[in-house]
């Protein structure tokens, strides 16, 4: 029986994790959950259903306390960070955005294993996270990185030629003119059901850029050995190419339950975590290079990774600001990457190294302030 803490329990990853746990009551027990609290009814229902002892929220704490009198409710901006330090077997960090960095560091410092779905932890603070993480303490939940993690078991690290991340390509992989993209179109992902920020990041391919940076830290390989390709069917989740010409890939239907289950139950697999591929049916899987002219986010992210220091944090923070502006219909879809690049070029912090989480916060604050200024220019 493993005691699990779920950070971001009402989001897509959190909900699927709870479904896995509900289906396997002999394997897992949920001891704490956190959420922004914007949907108090959902977190109240989860807390009652799984009989958790601790709930963390940033909003609506009073109504949640009233509904859950026997539960310890921790509120405030640092609720997830505090709860991540509670002794447990696994902390699943399913928070979206760089606010997930603090809880990741907190869980690692406490000696908890971390199943990491919050890619921004590694993008904004990769060096901090990897310095803290002990062997077999940090496990990827992103389907791409889970696939690489599993495929790397086929050979020795010195035998790896390169990693190949697959990308669905989002809703616009075949659309030539992106100037008139609407919010509704960008949110209509053809393969995955995700939160709005991740869905927009998938549409711009920023998500794949972030994943390249994440892979660099997780697997300790140079950016020159990390590539990405378009794979619309999202069945091959990623691949590892070895020096003998062999490529090992991990394949499963396009859902997150397999990666979640493997991360929270490692080194064991969870029976029937997801339906297998029906190999007795015909399948057609396609792969194609990414058009970096239409989708410059990949090259931008790679340049940030190569520069190192504060650049990945600047890239991520600026993107979060411009995605929020797009979702609020203040800027155009194509303005997201245009604006991010302007922030990167003009940032005074770009040569700074990151010593601690306070440095990350300061760098991100400056990047967001610059992004907000550029957004105002665009709106005017």
Counting beta carbons within 10 angstroms of the beta carbon of residue 221, is it exposed (0 to 12), middle (13 to 18) or buried (19 or more)? middle
What would the two tokens of residue 327 be?
């979702």
The pLDDT value given to residue 137: 97
Residue 94, pLDDT above cutoff 70 = yes
Q: Classify residue 270: in a domain, yes or no.
A: no
In a shared domain, residues 175 and 289: yes
Cα distances (Å, whole numbers) of residue 347 to 268, 322, 363: 45, 16, 9
Residue labelled with tokens 């990853």: 13
The pLDDT value given to residue 351: 64
Q: Classify residue 267: in a domain, yes or no.
A: no
Percentage, residues of the chain above pLDDT 90: 80
In a shared domain, residues 120 and 18: yes
CA distance 173 to 292: 11
In a shared domain, residues 123 and 156: no
Q: Classify residue 312: in a domain, yes or no.
A: yes
CA 227 to chain centre: 18
Could you say which DSSP state residue 352 is in? -
In a shared domain, residues 101 and 129: yes
State pLDDT tens for residues 17-73.
999 999 999 999 999 999 987 889 999 999 999 999 999 999 889 999 999 999 999
CA distance 122 to 215: 9
CA distance 368 to 340: 10
Q: Classify residue 288: in a domain, yes or no.
A: yes
Q: Classify residue 245: in a domain, yes or no.
A: yes
- Give the end of a domain, one of 140, 159, 181: 140
> Structural domain tally of the chain?
3
CA nearest to 261, candidates 8, 89, 17: 17
Look up the CATH number of the domain holding residue 330: 1.10.1740.10
Look up the CATH number of the domain holding residue 93: 3.40.50.720
Residue 210, pLDDT above cutoff 70 = yes
Q: pTM for the full model?
A: 0.92
The pLDDT confidence band at residue 169, using thresholds 50, 70 and 90, is: confident
Residue 351, number of CB atoms within 10 A of its CB: 11
In a shared domain, residues 239 and 188: yes
CA nearest to 250, candidates 242, 241, 239, 262: 239
The pLDDT value given to residue 192: 72
In a shared domain, residues 57 and 80: yes
Q: Classify residue 222: in a domain, yes or no.
A: yes
- Sequence-distant (6+) residues with CB within 8 A of 33 are 5, 6, 7, 9, 14, 43, 46, 47, 50, 52, 54, 55, 56
State pLDDT tens for residues 263-274.
999 999 999 999
Segments forming the whole domain that contains residue 102: 2-140
In a shared domain, residues 23 and 121: yes
In a shared domain, residues 128 and 69: yes
- Residue 267: is the preceding peptide bond cis (ω within 30°)? yes
In a shared domain, residues 117 and 176: no
State pLDDT tens for residues 287-307.
999 998 889 999 999 999 998
Q: Is the distance from CB of 313 to CB of 355 less than 8 angstroms?
A: no
The pLDDT confidence band at residue 346, using thresholds 50, 70 and 90, is: confident
State pLDDT tens for residues 223-254.
999 999 999 999 999 999 999 999 999 999 98
The continuous run of DSSP H or E covering 56 comes out as: strand 54-57
- Give the end of a domain, one of 99, 114, 140: 140
- Give the end of a domain, one of 140, 155, 183: 140
In a shared domain, residues 287 and 192: yes
In a shared domain, residues 152 and 114: no
In a shared domain, residues 33 and 163: no
CA distance 269 to 158: 26
Residue labelled with tokens 């339906």: 275
Q: Classify residue 232: in a domain, yes or no.
A: yes
Q: Classify residue 133: in a domain, yes or no.
A: yes
């Amino acid at each position: 029986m493993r005691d699990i803490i779920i950070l971001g329990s009402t989001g897509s990853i959190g909900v699927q994790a709870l479904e896995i746990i509900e289906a396997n009551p002999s394997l897992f027990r949920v001891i704490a959950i956190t959420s922004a609290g914007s949907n108090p009814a959902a977190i109240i229902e989860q807390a009652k259903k799984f009989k958790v002892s601790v709930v963390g929220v940033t909003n609506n704490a009073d109504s949640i306390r009233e509904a859950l009198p026997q539960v310890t409710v921790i509120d405030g901006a640092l609720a997830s960070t505090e709860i991540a330090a509670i002794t447990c077997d696994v902390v699943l960090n399913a928070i979206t955005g760089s606010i997930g960095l603090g809880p990741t560091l907190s869980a690692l410092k406490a000696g908890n294993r971390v199943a990491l779905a919050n890619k921004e932890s590694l993008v904004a603070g990769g060096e901090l996270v990897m310095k803290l993480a002990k062997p077999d303490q940090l496990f990827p939940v992103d389907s791409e990185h889970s696939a690489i993690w599993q495929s790397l078991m086929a050979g020795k690290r010195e035998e790896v030629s390169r990693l190949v991340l697959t990308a669905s390509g989002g809703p616009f992989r075949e659309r030539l003119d992106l100037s008139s993209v609407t919010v509704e179109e960008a949110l209509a992902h053809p393969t995955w059901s995700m939160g709005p920020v991740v869905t927009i990041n998938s549409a711009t391919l920023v998500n794949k850029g972030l994943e390249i940076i994440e892979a660099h830290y997780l697997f300790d390989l140079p950016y020159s050995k990390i590539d990405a390709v378009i794979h619309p069917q999202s069945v091959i989740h990623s691949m590892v190419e070895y020096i003998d010409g062999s490529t090992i890939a991990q394949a499963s239907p396009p859902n997150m339950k397999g990666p979640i289950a493997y991360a929270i139950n490692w080194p064991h697999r969870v029976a029937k975590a997801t339906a297998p591929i029906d190999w007795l049916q015909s399948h057609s899987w396609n792969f194609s290079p990414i058009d970096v002219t239409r989708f410059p986010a990949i090259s931008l992210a790679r340049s940030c990774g190569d520069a190192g220091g504060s650049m990945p944090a600047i890239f991520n923070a600026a993107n979060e600001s411009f995605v929020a502006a797009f979702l609020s219909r203040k800027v155009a879809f194509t303005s997201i990457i245009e604006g991010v690049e302007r922030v990167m070029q003009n940032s005074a912090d770009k040569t700074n190294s990151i010593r601690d989480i306070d440095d990350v916060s300061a760098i991100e604050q400056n990047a967001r302030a610059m992004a907000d200024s550029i957004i105002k220019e665009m709106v005017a």
